[in-house]
Amino acid sequence: MNDRVTVSVLVPVYNAEEYIEESIESIRCQTFGDLEIIAIDDGSEDRSYEILKRIKSTERRLRIVRQSHRGLVNALNLGIDLALGDWIARLDADDIMYSDRIESQLEYCRREGVQLCGGAADLFSKNRLTRRRLMYPESDRSIKIGLMFGCVLLHPTIFCRSDIMKVGYCDMFHGVCEDYDLWVRLALRGVKMGNIQKPVIKHRLHENQLSTCRREAVKAGRDSVRRYYISQLGKKRNINARDIAIFSDWLEGRSNGEPTNSKEVWDSVKRILCDVSYNEHNDARVVINYCKGALIFSSMNNIGYLIEYLKYCTKQQVLPSVLLLLAMFILRVLPFKKDSMLCRWLVRIARPGSANG
């Protein structure tokens, strides 16, 4: 298959015999047909490769590449190099596309002039949909603000111009956060981003996922990427280095709980957000949504953060979140640890739809 196509769907595969057939079938059933499927078998030790070969016998659009196990980043970069499409769509070997995913994202990118597009995802486990849907900010500006707080583009929903993806993934953090790192580098280059506001995939939850197995490594990688992004924004906009350090420490839960410190921290947060935002009032809701997790944790030790939050809402004419205020109050009054189940649950309900804060 040497002809150009519109879309290359890139699926890295490693020991996915339980899921790969259903995943590939969801690509074959797309309403948009001018595509190729590139499956990179990264040294699977199960029947994944045999299943792919069987599918290929009835699907000419499927290209299979097999290599010794070299890791996700290597497999992704190989697939990008081999892609013949003008656009590259990502899918994990255990996820399922909705039938109009490619058509919807291609139409959105062409209409909005977006170069890299993500989307929402429905979570499912053991072949049953849960009640959770992951939603992410839509506009280019809100995404680039959001990247200061975490990864706001879900990797298996990505749909991107292939020439932009040629920048490639880096394995700086030993197999974690390669997606967040790439989105940050592309954001700093001025790539226009967007998130389509409807689910484009069903995203599988299971205990063998990387984010579950290597939680501490993921957190360390995320913190490193976030600090790099904020520091680079700071250089572009001459943001004070001390403000950057205070902001980063606060997001990572490292700021101390002294009552006199809350105003200093929040002032630094506001200065950074004001410098990065083009219009602080219009971005206030976006900013507050991302700050919720850090506000909840910091208010456990210092009620001053609750006061500063209310002052900010008043100034920006934004209604405070009732759920956030309730979570901050409960965790302030009751002696819960940051890693307790209740604490995580309160952060989740106060920040609906967020997966990677």
Question: Which has more pLDDT, 247 or 282?
Answer: 247
Domain identity same for 200 and 246: no
Q: Give the pLDDT mean for 147-171.
A: 94
Residues 34-71 pLDDT 10s: 999 999 999 999 999 999 999 999 999 999 999 999 99
Domain identity same for 102 and 206: yes
pTM greater than 0.85 (yes/no): no
Q: Is 225 a member of any domain?
A: no
> Rounded to whole angstroms, how far apart are CA atoms 55 and 20?
10
Domain identity same for 156 and 261: no
Range of the domain at 258: 239-350
Query: In the chain, pLDDT over 70 holds for what percent of residues?
Result: 73
Q: Which residues of 181-206 are buried (b: 16+ CB within 10 A; e: fewer)?
A: bbbbbbbeeebbbbbbeebbbbbbee
Only one residue has tokens 């001018």, namely 34
Question: Which has more pLDDT, 240 or 286?
Answer: 240
The pLDDT of residue 176: 85
Q: Give the pLDDT mean for 284-302.
A: 66
Q: Give the pLDDT mean for 102-111.
A: 98
Domain identity same for 40 and 131: yes
The pLDDT of residue 293: 65
Q: Is 234 a member of any domain?
A: no
Domain identity same for 264 and 194: no
The pLDDT of residue 281: 46
Q: Does the pLDDT of residue 295 top 80, yes or no?
A: no
Domain identity same for 278 and 157: no
Q: Give the pLDDT mean for 89-93.
A: 97
Question: Which has more pLDDT, 148 or 182?
Answer: 182
Domain identity same for 164 and 290: no
Domain identity same for 56 and 135: yes
Q: Does the pLDDT of residue 277 top 60, yes or no?
A: no
> Rounded to whole angstroms, how far apart are CA atoms 203 and 285?
27
Q: Is 45 a member of any domain?
A: yes
Give the domain-ending residue among 148, 178, 213. Answer: 213
User: Given pLDDT bands bounded at 50, 70 and 90, which one contains residue 288?
Assistant: low
Q: Is 68 a member of any domain?
A: yes
How crowded is residue 96: how many other Cβ atoms within 10 Å of its Cβ? 24
Q: Is 264 a member of any domain?
A: yes
User: Given pLDDT bands bounded at 50, 70 and 90, which one contains residue 226?
Assistant: confident
The pLDDT of residue 308: 74
Q: Is 320 a member of any domain?
A: yes
The pLDDT of residue 267: 78
Residues 121-151 pLDDT 10s: 999 987 677 778 899 989 998 898 889 888 9
Domain count, the chain: 2
Domain identity same for 75 and 195: yes
Domain identity same for 201 and 294: no
Q: Which of these ranges, 189-198, 322-331, 333-342, has the smallest mean pLDDT?
A: 333-342
Beta-sheet strands, E only, within the chain = 5-13, 35-42, 62-67, 85-90, 96-97, 116-125, 128-134, 159-161, 193-204
Q: Is 356 a member of any domain?
A: no
Question: Residue 100 belongs to a domain with what CATH number?
Answer: 3.90.550.10
Q: Give the pLDDT mean for 227-234.
A: 83
Q: Which of 102, 61, 115 is CA-nearest to residue 201? A: 102
